[in-house]
Amino acid sequence: MEINLVSDTVTKPTPDMLRYMFQAAVGDDVYKQDPTVNALEAKVAALFGMEAAMFFPSGTMANQTAIKLHTQPGEQLIADKWAHVFHYEGGGVSFNSGVSCCLLDGNRGMINADQVAAAINPPAFYHNPLTSLVCVENTTNKGGGACYDINELAKIKNVCSENNLKFHLDGARLWNALVVTKENPKIYGQMFDTISVCLSKGLGAPIGSLLVSDQKTIDRALRIRKILGGGMRQVGYLAAAGIYALDHHVARLADDHRRAKELGALLQSLNWVEQVEPVETNILIFNLRKGLDENQLIQALKERNILISSMGQGKLRIVTHLDYKEVMHDYVRETLQRIGIR
Q: 105 vs 1, which has greater pLDDT? A: 105
Which residues, listed in sequence order, are joined to residue 76 by a DSSP beta bridge? 100, 131
Answer whether residue 7 is part of any domain: no
Tell me phi and psi for residue 182, to 5 degrees.
60, 30
Tell me phi and psi for residue 123, to 5 degrees.
-60, -30
d(C-alpha 52, C-alpha 43), whole Å = 9
Q: Span 25-43, mean pLDDT?
A: 97
Q: Are residues 153 and 284 in the same domain?
A: no
Q: Are residues 54 and 125 in the same domain?
A: yes
Q: Is 271 exposed, middle or buried (0-12, 13-18, 19+ CB in 10 A)?
A: exposed
Answer whether residue 186 is part of any domain: yes
Q: Span 98-107, mean pLDDT?
A: 98
Last residue of a domain, one of 248, 279, 306: 248
Check residue 335 and give its pLDDT. Answer: 97
**How high does pLDDT run on average in the chain?**
97
Q: Are residues 196 and 231 in the same domain?
A: yes
pLDDT band at 284; cut points 50, 70, 90? very high
pLDDT band at 291; cut points 50, 70, 90? confident
Answer whether residue 178 is part of any domain: yes
Q: Are residues 73 and 178 in the same domain?
A: yes
Return the closest-CA partner of residue 82 out of 52, 48, 105: 105
Answer whether residue 82 is part of any domain: yes
Long-range contacts of 261-265 (CB under 8 A, 24+ apart): 262/329, 262/333, 263/318, 263/320, 263/329, 263/332, 263/333, 263/336
CA atoms within 13 A on the CB side of 71: 30
Q: Are residues 79 and 185 in the same domain?
A: yes
Answer whether residue 161 is part of any domain: yes
Domain that holds residue 326: 252-338
Answer whether residue 1 is part of any domain: no
pLDDT value at 172 more than 90: yes
d(C-alpha 107, C-alpha 26), whole Å = 44
Q: Span 260-272, mean pLDDT?
A: 97
Q: Are residues 235 and 288 in the same domain?
A: no
Answer whether residue 162 is part of any domain: yes
pLDDT tens digits for range 58-82: 999 999 999 999 999 999 999 999 9
The total number of structural domains that make up the chain = 2
Q: Are residues 36 and 170 in the same domain?
A: yes
Answer whether residue 3 is part of any domain: no
pTM of the predicted model as reported, rounded to 2 decimal places: 0.96
Last residue of a domain, one of 186, 214, 248: 248
Check residue 196 and give its pLDDT. Answer: 98
Q: Are residues 236 and 329 in the same domain?
A: no
Lowest mean pLDDT among 44-48, 127-131, 290-294: 290-294
pLDDT tens digits for range 230-256: 999 999 999 999 999 999 999 999 999
pLDDT tens digits for range 39-53: 999 999 999 999 999
Q: Are residues 283 and 214 in the same domain?
A: no
pLDDT tens digits for range 133-150: 999 999 999 999 999 999
Q: What is the CATH number of the domain that holds 263?
A: 3.90.1150.10
d(C-alpha 267, C-alpha 262), whole Å = 9
Q: Span 80-97, mean pLDDT?
A: 97
Return the closest-CA partner of residue 210 out of 89, 66, 323, 94: 66
Q: Are residues 228 and 286 in the same domain?
A: no
44, amino acid identity: V
d(C-alpha 209, C-alpha 227), whole Å = 17
Last residue of a domain, one of 196, 213, 248: 248
d(C-alpha 139, C-alpha 262), whole Å = 19
Q: Are residues 212 and 88 in the same domain?
A: yes
Q: What is the CATH number of the domain that holds 131?
A: 3.40.640.10
Q: Are residues 241 and 262 in the same domain?
A: no
